[in-house]
Amino acid sequence: MADTLDPKHLDKRTAERYLRSGQLDEKAYERHLKSLPDVADKAAPVATAMEDEDFDDEDEDFEDEDFEEEGADEGTEDSEAP
């Protein structure tokens, strides 16, 4: 392959930035994507299960308490200011 691509330019999370800056040739990148094999048949389903359903509720309560306390402190400071 005459125009070897730098592997760091091929990461899909950064390729767009390299394309915009001109460090990566759009045609070369498209050729690279088309040359990749289709591995969709190797995909496996992913299942997620929450063990403790109340976990989110507890976390939200904690955040609400913090917000109320911060709001009370801020209100006090504002009313005392001249």
Instruction: Note the pLDDT tens digit of each residue in 27-70.
Output: 999 999 999 999 999 999 999 888 776 655 555 555 555 555 55
Within a domain: 42: no
Within a domain: 32: yes
Structural domains counted in the chain: 1
Within a domain: 2: no
Does the pLDDT at position 19 exceed 90? yes
Within a domain: 71: no
Within a domain: 12: yes
Within 13 Å and on the Cβ side, how many CA atoms surround 72?
6
For residue 23, give its domain range: 7-36
What token pair was written down for 70?
A: 């911060």
How many contiguous H segments (helices) and E segments (strands) does the chain have?
A: 3, 0
What's the confidence (pLDDT) of residue 29? 94
State pTM to two decimals.
0.48
What's the confidence (pLDDT) of residue 20? 95
